[in-house]
Structure 1
Amino acid sequence: MKALIVCTSKSHGNTRKVADTIGSVLDARVVDPSEITAAELADYDLVGFGSGVYWMALDARLREFVDALPAGQGREAFVFATSGLPEPKFRPYLRNLGDQLTEKGFEVVGGFACRGLDTMGPLALVGGLNKGRPSPDDLTSARGFAEQLRGRFA
């Protein structure tokens, strides 16, 4: 199995920590959307797409990258995110990303989310929300998620 993770992580590196953890289990290359083309995705059996959550939305760079992908991808994908707060039912950003990938021809085989340090807006005044996250336990959970993904190709 050849895996790739397309990840945006800009505030505190929360999402990159999760991507690197998943990537270490999958022996996957971790890249920013600007470092890969849609055509290069054809070289991979499994592609992960991850982002931090900013004002209840995934990073625009990741959303734009997925928007620009041609239809007919025909490979497996997974989604993941870090956020200060749980995903609200009225704004299911991971499900929306999964739906978008399905429309592009991916089979979405899983998703992972955990809390991350959040210092957006007024939270910065109090040092942020979720200090120390993603925690070692969060990264252990990410590792378990990746092992399940790897098991699909065993």
Structure 2
Amino acid sequence: MKNIAVTYQSHYGTTKRYAQWIAEALKADLFESQQLTEAQLANYDLIIHGGGLYASSILGTKMLRQYPNQHYLLFTVGLANPETTDYSKILAQNLPATSRQPVKVFHFRGGINYQKLAKRHLLLMKLMKKMSIDHKQPEELTAEDQAFLASYGGQVDFCDRKSIAPLLEFVQQDYA
């Protein structure tokens, strides 16, 4: 297997958990992206970066644009169900067409604990609820809206180690 680095940027730990699982499975080096230098990454054939999704932003994508010579995969971790979520607008916003693009992108489901949210993230969640859901009639709520309301104010953890299997298979097939 080629020399692989797994990097991540996470606020509350679910992205870090996925990064640890991936690094362990691939026997790759693990780094928190904010503590990396170009010299450290120069020795890697592939970078697998995990970024938490917060208000349509993917943490750490700016860091990836600073290191233009490496191939990289991207995985995102967010509260929404990846099987029913369209990420095209989020990816376009965070990975402009003029920048280097990832080889492939994977999406994983994370979790939330409202008790541990920073005030700004708590305010964002309240705003999201107000703007996206509160004006809807009960029959207009999507499955995603209903899941959001069911978890609102509480704690949920959708992290699943098995969900990294497609990423692992891709890396083992294309970067062995």
**SS of structure 1 residue aligned to 2:42:** helix
- In the alignment, does 2:99 pair up with 1:103? yes
Partner Cα separation in structure 1 for residue 86 and residue 166 of structure 2:
24
- In the alignment, does 2:132 pair up with 1:142? no
The TM-score, its normalising length taken from structure 2, stands at 0.66
Aligned to 1:133: 158
Percent identity among equivalent residues?
Answer: 19
Asked if 2 retains the 8 angstrom alpha-carbon contact of 1:21 and 1:143, the reply is no
Amino acid across the alignment from 2:66: A
Partner Cα separation in structure 1 for residue 94 and residue 105 of structure 2:
10
Partner Cα separation in structure 1 for residue 7 and residue 18 of structure 2:
12
- In the alignment, does 2:115 pair up with 1:116? no
How many matched pairs?
A: 139
Partner Cα separation in structure 1 for residue 7 and residue 42 of structure 2:
13
- In the alignment, does 2:55 pair up with 1:55? yes
Q: Considering only aligned residues, what root-mean-square deviation do their CA atoms show, in Å?
A: 2.7
Aligned to 1:3: 4
Asked if 2 retains the 8 angstrom alpha-carbon contact of 1:84 and 1:117, the reply is yes
Asked if 2 retains the 8 angstrom alpha-carbon contact of 1:7 and 1:19, the reply is yes
Cα deviation, 1:69-122, whole Å, max 9, x if unaligned, reads 3x4x0x3210001111255456323x555557x834x6x332211221134524
Distance 1:27 1:96, change over 3 A: farther
Which consecutive aligned stretches of 4+ in structure 1 deviate over 3 angstroms post-superposition? 86-90, 95-100, 122-125
Partner Cα separation in structure 2 for residue 146 and residue 96 of structure 1:
26
**SS of structure 2 residue aligned to 1:109:** coil
**SS of structure 2 residue aligned to 1:23:** helix
Cα deviation, 1:39-87, whole Å, max 9, x if unaligned, reads 322200110111111111112xx13322433x4x0x3210001111255
> Which residues of structure 2 form unaligned runs of 5+?
115-120, 127-147
Distance 1:147 1:58, change over 3 A: same
Deviation at 1:32, TM superposition (A): 1.2
Distance 1:112 1:37, change over 3 A: same
Aligned to 2:76: 81
Deviation at 1:125, TM superposition (A): 5.7
Asked if 1 retains the 8 angstrom alpha-carbon contact of 2:48 and 2:75, the reply is yes
Larger radius of gyration: 2
- In the alignment, does 2:37 pair up with 1:37? yes
> Which residues of structure 1 form unaligned runs of 5+?
none
Asked if 2 retains the 8 angstrom alpha-carbon contact of 1:79 and 1:97, the reply is no
